[in-house]
């Protein structure tokens, strides 16, 4: 662990709401001297101790390492999944040296190696991993994209539909597909059409080189974010995302239209089962020779037979992070350093006994085509009410300093309160501070939880 008077110079990769929340939390730490956000966004630019670097791309590892050396960066934090899957941690360790036991060389990287990042980068790999280690998940079969495999996958889907009772399936492109690679068909014909688009027409490019066909699980979903140092696992409270774009869980899937935490759909025994699954996963990776360091973000389905893993992610979730980090009482920088040092067991992870709600404001047309560069206004960009925070995602600053939209999910209002009801109310009050043409948002975030 760095001594208390040391200064962290952080290189943070990404430009979404997740990265804004990470930087917001890190900027509160006395350990942090400066944060360089590549490329950053309009909200990150307004944080103290943060400099946005829009001229370097997050996938240009050579330029990133050169910049890191120039700025004497000593902690790398990749926000999105793509750089991790492509091996940014391995590259930085190769170029700048791994962190030495004497604390005087190299760079710490809060994130998994390329080998460990396969848990998100390849769904076929992660499903086989779960099977090897007895981790509860949906029944499945993997297929490669070819004419013969298309025929075999189609036959498998038809056999599932002829079962008694008929079994629905979910079709997943194995690789990274920008959150769009999971298809939940409502009929056999729709399922085979989806297969054809992925396997033969290559709708998702290389992400569809392999395909997972798995059983459709029914129940409530929840997400768990865990800090991992290679062996120790410490989890934040479970969160629940709202994937569909419209109220009532209607419309197409999105990257997430809002979250709340903690959920009220899992009791103590279920949470203990989930923690065991997280620990089994981490121990399995260690046993197979690719120990995991960073954040393990796991999606679970609460089925009648218990929680089952839907998928693994190897980084903070978005927008779950925007709800969870404001609930976190412990210094985030301290936790990250403990993970990179293999000393997470020395940290006491404390969480506020409150509720948090995040409401995402998106551009009109999202998740389909949408306008960019739309001028926007925030009535109070720095609210005096510290219980409500606006986390920017798809925003940028023009040359004249004007705030404009630059993405589908534009900004989010996050509120913390003693009760879920109050957190919902405050979050929607925060939404009222956001103004731009065509903005859309769901009005029922955490609605099901309130009814229960």
Task: Tell me the mean pLDDT in the region 67-85.
Answer: 95
Amino acid 381: pLDDT: 47
Three-state DSSP class for 77? strand
Q: Which residues pair with 104 in a beta bridge?
A: none
The 3-state DSSP class for residue 180 equals coil
pLDDT digits (tens, 9 = 90+) for 143-195: 998 888 999 999 999 999 888 788 899 999 999 987 778 889 989 999 999 99
Do β-strands 8-14 and 434-436 pair in parallel, antiparallel, or remain unpaired?
unpaired
pLDDT for 418 beyond 60: yes
CB 34 within 8 A of CB 72: no
Angle at 102 between CA 98 and CA 103, to 5 degrees: 60
Q: Regarding predicted confidence, which is higher, 381 or 266?
A: 266
For residues 405-422, give the mean pLDDT: 96
- Residue 266's pLDDT is what? 81
As given in the structure block, the two tokens for residue 143 are 């297929």
Chain segment 11-22, per-residue pLDDT in tens: 999 999 999 999
Share of the chain above pLDDT 90, in %: 82
Taking Cα atoms as reference points, which of 26, 98, 29, 88 lies closest to residue 63? Answer: 88
| Tokens 């997740």, residue located | 18
Spans of all domains in the chain:
8-110, 146-208, 220-451
Q: What is the pLDDT of residues 298-356, one digit of tens each?
A: 999 999 989 999 999 999 999 999 999 999 999 999 999 999 999 999 999 999 999 99
| Better-scored residue on pLDDT, 370 or 105 | 370
Q: Band the pLDDT of 2: cuts 50, 70, 90.
A: very low
Which CATH number is correct for 8-110, 3.80.10.10, 3.40.50.20, 3.40.50.300, 3.40.50.11900? 3.40.50.20
Domain 220-451 has CATH 3.20.130.10: no
Which fold does the domain 146-208 belong to in CATH? Dna Ligase; domain 1 (3.30.1490)
pLDDT at position 3 is 42
């Amino acid at each position: 662990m760095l001594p208390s008077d040391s200064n962290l110079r952080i290189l943070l990769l990404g430009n979404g709401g997740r990265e804004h929340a990470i930087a917001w939390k890190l900027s509160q730490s006395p350990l942090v001297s400066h944060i360089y956000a590549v490329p950053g966004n309009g909200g990150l630019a307004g944080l103290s101790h943060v400099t946005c670097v829009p001229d370097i791309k997050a996938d240009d590892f050579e330029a990133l390492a050169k910049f890191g050396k120039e700025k004497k960066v000593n902690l790398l934090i990749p926000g999105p999944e793509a750089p991790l899957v492509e091996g940014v941690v391995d590259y930085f360790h190769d170029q700048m040296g791994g962190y030495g036991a004497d604390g005087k060389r190299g760079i710490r990287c809060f994130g998994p190696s390329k080998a460990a990042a396969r848990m998100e980068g390849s769904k076929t790999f992660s499903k086989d991993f779960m099977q090897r280690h007895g981790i509860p998940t949906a029944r499945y079969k993997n297929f490669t994209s070819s004419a013969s495999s298309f025929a075999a996958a189609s036959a498998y889907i038809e056999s599932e539909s002829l079962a008694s009772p008929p079994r629905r399936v979910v079709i997943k492109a194995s690789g990274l597909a920008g959150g769009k690679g999971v298809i939940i068909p409502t009929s056999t014909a729709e399922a085979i059409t989806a297969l054809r688009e992925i396997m033969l027409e290559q709708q998702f490019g290389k992400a569809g080189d392999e395909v997972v066909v798995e059983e459709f699980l029914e129940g409530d979903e929840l997400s768990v974010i865990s800090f991992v140092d290679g062996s120790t696992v410490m989890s934040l409270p479970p969160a629940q995302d709202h994937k569909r774009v419209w109220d009532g869980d209607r419309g197409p899937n999105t990257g997430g239209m809002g979250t709340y935490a903690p959920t009220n759909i899992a009791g103590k025994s279920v949470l203990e089962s989930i923690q065991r699954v997280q620990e089994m996963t981490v121990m399995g990776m260690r046993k197979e020779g690719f120990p995991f360091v960073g954040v393990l973000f796991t999606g679970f389905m609460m089925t009648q037979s218990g929680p089952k893993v839907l998928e693994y992610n190897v980084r903070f979730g978005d927008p779950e992070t925007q709800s969870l980090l404001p609930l976190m009482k412990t210094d985030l920088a301290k936790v990250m350093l403990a993970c990179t040092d293999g000393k997470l067991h020395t940290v006491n992870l404390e969480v506020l006994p409150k509720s948090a709600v995040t409401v995402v404001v998106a551009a009109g047309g999202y998740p389909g085509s949408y306008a960019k560069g739309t001028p926007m206004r925030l009535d109070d960009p720095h609210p005096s009410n510290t219980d409500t925070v606006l986390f920017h995602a798809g925003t940028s600053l023009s040359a004249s300093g004007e705030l404009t939209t630059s993405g589908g999910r534009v900004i989010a209002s996050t509120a913390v309160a003693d009760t879920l009801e109050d957190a919902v109310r405050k979050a929607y009050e925060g939404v009222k501070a956001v103004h731009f043409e065509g903005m859309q948002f769901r009005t029922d975030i955490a609605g099901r939880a309130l009814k229960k």
